[in-house]
Amino acid sequence: MYIKRRQVLVAMLVMSQLGCMTFGVLWASHWLHEAFNQIIHRSAESQAQTVALSLARKTGDLPPTGSPERLQEIFAEADVPHDGFVTAVRLDDGAVAASSRKAPASINSSAPLSSQLLNRGADSQTLLAAIHSTENSDQVFVSGTMVVDERTYDVTALELPKQNTAIVVAMSEASLDHLVAQLITPLIHVGFVLTGAVVAATALCTIFLVRRFDSTLLEVSSSLEREVIRRTLALQRSRNAVVFGLAKLAESRDKDAGQHLERLRTYVTVLASELAKHNPSIDHHYVANLAIASALHDVGKMGVPDAVILKLGKLTAAERRSMQMHTVLGDECLASVERMFGDHDQFLTLGREVAAAHHEQWDGSGYPYGLQGKEIPLSARIVALADVYDALTSHREYRPAANHAVARDWIVSHYGSQFDPEVVEAFIAREADFAKISRVTAEADARRLAADQYPAPAAAPSARDPVA
């Protein structure tokens, strides 16, 4: 069972402990009740034997026929504890010869006490028969329980053969049980009070320890989380640096490229952030990964011969096919890297999409696969517009940089043909940001032109130019 909250766990522990301790108190009270019951009944039996012997001494001087008045006087004054009574029963006819004041009135009725059943464990005999059974044995007293007037009594009988009587001492079972209860009840109460105190103290200690554990666990978890974030960011920075370095290496074959990758990353970030306002599938992780993955769009050109990639002028059909292969080469290169990782990585997936499809066009006239509309990955659609905008607004040996207005009109004129309409609309919404970045680029190019010496412009654009 999965426990979602610490409070439930603490409550379950407290309830289980309370249940166990309550069971323990009840079991202990039952054991104590049995033990005290045996002790009290043994004590009552001893008291009854003492009373019987005391009366035997007092009646020992009486003649066998006895003096009924004197015998009644002796028995009337007898004090038997536990709501008990004492009687003298004749051995010959079982009649009651004398009894104490507390004796039930029924013992002198038509059903004399001597005819009552005396329960002795599993055996039952009449009182008189039980008394006669001791005549030929070493047993002095007869003990058992008897029901008189629907009340149970512990009975102890002593035979006095010379007086032809038997002294019967009876003590109320209910009184003995009440005495046991009086002794046990306070102990039970104390047990339950101690149980409550122990459970409460244990619960408080458990809550305190759980909170301390949670606090320590939170601190450790926060520390580990910070360390994981730190190392993840370090790995991401290292990865991004390596990726960007490889992309720069591919880009270095074109001396006109300049800061193309840095600008492209900025344009892609602006476009993706704008699209995220209306596209729930784009989050900040997607934007950050796409910004870095955009640098891989031309990584496949590392496999294109220099004679093709640096050629100025129109390419032959074979050279164009060779140039267009850079999308397939980039896709295959990044696919092999992705297989080495062995799991899905959004950055590598975006890199593959950008490398393979950034020359696909919305109307299906692009390459290498002729994808159309939303068959083209969104990442490639974003990078395609950003790449063309940067190419238009960047200086080339064979042409000057176009201003933002010209580049904007060119892109808008290809709305729904070369570019995704939604991406073009995002571009229009953020064109002020594009214009600002373009202006900074133009100023940087102007400074570079003033510092460097360039050869005369060529007659035709480079095959690397995406708008060629």
In a domain, 214, yes or no: no
In a domain, 382, yes or no: yes
In a domain, 279, yes or no: yes
Answer with the residue of higher pLDDT: 102 or 263: 263
Query: Is the pLDDT score of 348 beyond 70?
Result: yes
Structural domain including 284 reads: 254-451
In a domain, 122, yes or no: no
Which of 164-168, 268-272, 277-281, 409-413 has the least mean pLDDT? 164-168
- How far apart CA 52 and CA 80 sit, in angstroms, is 10
Report pTM: 0.54
pLDDT band per the 50, 70, 90 thresholds, residue 327: very high
Query: Is the pLDDT score of 411 beyond 90?
Result: yes
Give the number of domains in the chain: 1
How far apart, in Å, do the first and last CA atoms of the chain sit?
Answer: 66
In a domain, 447, yes or no: yes
In a domain, 116, yes or no: no
pLDDT band per the 50, 70, 90 thresholds, residue 261: confident
**What percentage of the chain reaches a pLDDT higher than 90?**
26
Q: What is the pLDDT of residues 187-216, one digit of tens each?
A: 888 888 888 888 888 888 888 887 888 788
What is the token pair recorded at 220? 């450790």
The confidence score (pLDDT) of residue 2 equals 46
The CATH number of residue 415's host domain is: 1.10.3210.10
- As a whole number, mean pLDDT of residues 411-432 equals 95
Residue 156 in contact with residue 130, Cβ under 8 Å?
Answer: no
pLDDT band per the 50, 70, 90 thresholds, residue 347: confident
In a domain, 37, yes or no: no
Residue 148 in contact with residue 138, Cβ under 8 Å?
Answer: no
Sign of CA dihedral 203, 205, 210, 215: positive
Query: Is the pLDDT score of 377 beyond 90?
Result: yes
Name the CA radius of gyration of the chain, rounded.
Answer: 55
Residue with tokens 């919404």: 429
- Chain centroid to Cα 181, Å, comes to 47
Secondary element (H or E) of residue 124? strand 123-126
pLDDT mean across residues, the chain: 83
- How far apart CA 98 and CA 165 sit, in angstroms, is 10
The confidence score (pLDDT) of residue 132 equals 82
With H, G, I as helix, E, B as strand and everything else as coil, classify residue 84. Answer: coil
Secondary element (H or E) of residue 152? strand 151-160
**What percentage of the chain reaches a pLDDT higher than 70?**
85
Which amino acid is residue 93, in one-letter code? D
pLDDT band per the 50, 70, 90 thresholds, residue 466: low
In a domain, 306, yes or no: yes
Query: Is the pLDDT score of 248 beyond 60?
Result: yes
